[in-house]
Amino acid sequence: MLKKITTLTAACLLVGSLSAAKNKNVATAPVSAAEGFQKGALFLGGAVGLGSGLGYLGGYTLMANAEYAVTNDIGIGGSIGYWGYSSSQNYNGCPGYSCGGSSYTVTYSYSIIPIVVSGAWHFHIGNPKWDLAAGVSAGYYIVNASTSVSNSAYANAGFSSASASGIAIGIFGQARYFLNDRIALHGRLGYGITFLEVGVDFKI
């Protein structure tokens, strides 16, 4: 998966570079006021993500995002969110314990709170409705895992909870489509907080 997304990001960089080289006016002239991404612009938004870049394919992520245009081409941003996922497994008895052989269900719950900073290079393709970018991210992820057992007789059967935290990095391709001067649909594909993210951004 990481290899595929690395290839995709490289392709985005190549397409953006070729587009800029082909259109000399875009490459050499100042960015028009009509362009969605330009120096000084601030974007705030929310999004829903699918999956998790930490290896869990299920669940969903709720994200709050921000990005500031440092130059006409470079943006720096930050995100904070919540990812949650749970699954259940049915068991019959527990060999090695005096549980009476009755059935029970164990529910496994996982959560991640990501706090992330990112940097992105934006490509000006000559269409003010589109803002395409590719970037990298680094974040501090707070991870928790817990279990619950439906039958109290199995509470000491070896099931436990855990928590962990650490730094994770990612790469992504990003696109905004402006519905008007202030509102844009937002999409992101990459390896990091989520595999796929969709939402709405507001230009301040």
Residues 90-134 pLDDT 10s: 776 655 455 555 677 888 888 889 899 999 999 999 899 999 999
Give the model's confidence band at 1: pLDDT under 50 very low, under 70 low, under 90 confident, else very high. very low
Average pLDDT of the chain to the nearest whole number: 77
Query: Which phi and psi (to 5°) does residue 21 adopt?
Result: -70, -35
Decide if 41 contacts 203 (C-beta within 8 A). yes
Give me the pLDDT at residue 161, please: 58
d(CA 37, CA 41): 7
Amino acid present at 72: N
Give me the pLDDT at residue 104, please: 73
Decide if 78 contacts 118 (C-beta within 8 A). yes
* pLDDT over 80 (residue 49): yes
Give me the pLDDT at residue 6, please: 39
pLDDT above 90: percentage of residues in the chain: 40
Contacts for 63 with CB less than 8 Å, ≥ 6 apart:
46, 47, 48, 49, 79, 80, 81, 193, 194, 197, 199
| Partner residues linked to 50 by β-bridges | 60, 196
* pLDDT over 60 (residue 176): yes
Compute the C-alpha angle 167/201/35, nearest 5°: 110
More confident position, 85 or 200: 200
- pTM (2 decimals)? 0.70
Please identify, in words, the CATH class of the domain defined by 2-93+100-203: mainly beta
Which residue in 176, 198, 74 sits closest to 128, CA to CA? 176
Give the model's confidence band at 175: pLDDT under 50 very low, under 70 low, under 90 confident, else very high. very high
Give me the pLDDT at residue 148, please: 77
* pLDDT over 60 (residue 82): yes
More confident position, 9 or 137: 137
Q: Where are the domains of the chain?
A: 2-93+100-203
